[in-house]
Amino acid sequence: MRPEVVVNYSIPPEQSRSTRKIALKSRGSCRGFAVFQNRVIVFESHLELMVFFMLTLRTQTATVEDQPPAVTYRDGNNLRQHTFDFLVINHDGSRMYVAVKPAKRVERSGINTTLRLIAAQMPPRTATVHLVTDADFSYAARYNATQAFDFLRFPVKEHDEAMAAFANQITTSVRIADLVAASGLGAMGFRSIVRLIVHRVFEPVSPRERITYDSFIRPVLVT
């Protein structure tokens, strides 16, 4: 009998720590929320949601804050404030401010000038400043990030251990569908493989393509 996924729904997620009030209803954009580390994360566009997924999947990421407190900077004789979309705190304690903007709006928005001013005035070793646009990743990357985030929400330890054991037996690339069939875990085996790709147990042979049952993977070599 396969082990069941036990989820404790009696503990409600913590409210968003966003410093800006976001109206979740909008005719002109996709707005909503996701849950990460049992905390609500709000977003104002589908692009922000995709970037959030990718940030959470970084091995260096410890946590992600949405709409952190505004950063004050000087623009000539004026003091201005800018609220970043995300603040990423890494496991080593370093921080990354992340602004998200559609590529077609970057030039007219003046965001590059704003970020250059902030980066130049940021105290040493405080944080780095980054701009992410939809031109920075492919449709396949969006698909894979969305899928991985979903599968990582409810891991099954027994399944992951069973699938990880194959890594010691494989000497070449293998089709995911064949590995799933060998495991006898069905769709749960596929979900486990995606999690193990995130955890660097396996790697896709074609990393720029969508990860599906027909994808080929191989064990990550440990050096």
Task: Band the pLDDT of 90: cuts 50, 70, 90.
Answer: very high
pLDDT digit string (tens) for 129-154?
999 999 999 999 999 999 999 998 88
Residue 8 has pLDDT above 60, yes or no: no
Predicted confidence at residue 23, as pLDDT, reads 59
Locate 141 and state its tokens: 């990357």
d(CA 159, CA 112) in angstroms, rounded, equals: 45
Query: Higher-confidence residue: 161 or 1?
Result: 161
CA distances from residue 107 to 66, 136, 137 in whole angstroms, order as listed: 24, 16, 19
Q: Which of 204, 150, 198, 154 is nearest to 175 (CA)?
A: 204
- Arithmetic mean of pLDDT, 114-123: 96
Residue 54 has pLDDT above 60, yes or no: yes
Residue 18 has pLDDT above 60, yes or no: yes
- Arithmetic mean of pLDDT, 155-172: 91
Query: Higher-confidence residue: 199 or 9?
Result: 199
pTM: 0.78
Predicted confidence at residue 39, as pLDDT, reads 86
Strands 78-82 and 71-75: antiparallel
Residue 4 has pLDDT above 80, yes or no: no
- Asked if 97 contacts 87 with a C-beta cutoff of 8 angstroms, the reply is yes
d(CA 204, CA 197) in angstroms, rounded, equals: 7
Place of tokens 């191989």: 218
Lowest-confidence pick of 5-9, 23-27, 68-72, 97-101 = 5-9
Mean pLDDT of the chain: 88
CATH of 32-136 among 3.40.50.1360, 3.30.360.10, 3.40.1350.10, 3.40.50.620: 3.40.1350.10
In this prediction, what percent of the chain has a pLDDT beyond 70? Answer: 90
Neighbour-count burial for 175-210, b at 16+ CB within 10 Å, e otherwise: ebeebbeebebeebbbbbbbbbbbeebbebeeeebb
Predicted confidence at residue 223, as pLDDT, reads 60
Locate 126 and state its tokens: 């405080």
Predicted confidence at residue 1, as pLDDT, reads 30
In this prediction, what percent of the chain has a pLDDT beyond 90? Answer: 67
pLDDT digit string (tens) for 182-192?
999 999 999 99
Lowest-confidence pick of 8-22, 178-192, 196-210 = 8-22
Q: Which of 181, 192, 184 is nearest to 154 (CA)?
A: 192
Q: Sign of the C-alpha dihedral, residues 81, 84, 62, 23?
A: positive
